[in-house]
Amino acid sequence: MPDLLIGCISLENVMDLQEYFRRIGFGGTYEKPDLATLRTVHELHVMSVPFENLSIHCGERNTMDLQIIYEKIVRNRRGGWCCENNQLFSWVLREMGYKYTTLGSRVFNTLKNDYNPFNSHLINMVQIEGKPYIADVSFGVSCQIWHPLEMIAGKDQEQPAGIFCLLNDGETWTLQKTGRKPLVQNEAFANSSLIDKRVTKTMYSFLLIQREIDHFLNTSEYLQTSPESLFTQKSICSLQTPTGFRTLIGWTFSEVTFNPKEDTDIIEMRDVSDSEIETILKEKFNIVLVNKLTPINNKAAFKM
């Protein structure tokens, strides 16, 4: 009887790749772990799974436990931040047969004009036919890559959000993005602190050192408890769309449309009331929260 009980518990908690595929809307088949399939799955993930930190503003806790992350994102159809989304994606890579290495990166802090002193952003490096690529499904907003980036220093790689470029000084890799001019449609938000008017921006830097999940445990705790963390100062939910992205930061809802032909991003912004937030999360991000969200939008180093 104890063996049967253990078997039932294991079966109930099993993580299923096909269930993940259904979550992101991947209906295709794959014969081998190639670049074309990775591009498709990467894009579907960022279109289906929001970058969000709502749990810590709902009285909940984020965890590095992969099974709990799987339940949250796949079965409960929530989103997550990088330690959740990219950790789940590393499991997807492994299950699909890709060779990958988990790396830690230091995010550039715009208020301090310097990199954060610790690895606060988890990413994956994937090897395909001898070539390395960066897979990152959880940076969010205007700096979210839709497809893996080939690790060639100095090469401009155009994607819907703009042109991404990896730089290398021999040891440290740095990711930069060149975007477009923001055109804010609502004049009341023209000078909003959420608008990033920099055309070229530094995103993060990293070393090619394999990191185990334990490496991010203290970081995860800091990011959701410290008053110095942008994640405690802003409630954020962001999702990529076929034409751009949408985001809810505090009480400000934004829809951004990429317009590369005119080298602009068209931004529609409006403030919403507490009573609207539940509906917006459900209709715009496909998120239904169990606990009540307490929105927050204090000053922090974060822009759309």
Tens-level pLDDT at each residue, the chain (304 residues): 333 333 333 334 689 999 999 999 999 788 899 999 999 999 999 999 999 999 999 999 999 999 999 999 999 999 999 999 999 999 999 999 999 999 999 999 988 899 999 999 999 999 999 999 999 999 999 999 999 999 999 999 999 999 999 999 999 999 999 999 999 999 999 999 999 999 999 999 999 999 999 999 999 999 999 999 999 999 999 999 999 999 999 999 999 999 999 999 999 999 999 999 999 999 999 999 999 999 999 987 788 8
Highest CATH level, class, for 17-180+198-228:
alpha beta
Q: Would strands 264-271 and 181-184 be described as parallel, antiparallel, or unpaired?
A: parallel
User: Which residues have a catalytic role annotated?
Assistant: 82, 121, 136
Question: Structure tokens of 243?
Answer: 């034409």
Q: How far apart are CA 253 and CA 295, in angstroms?
A: 12
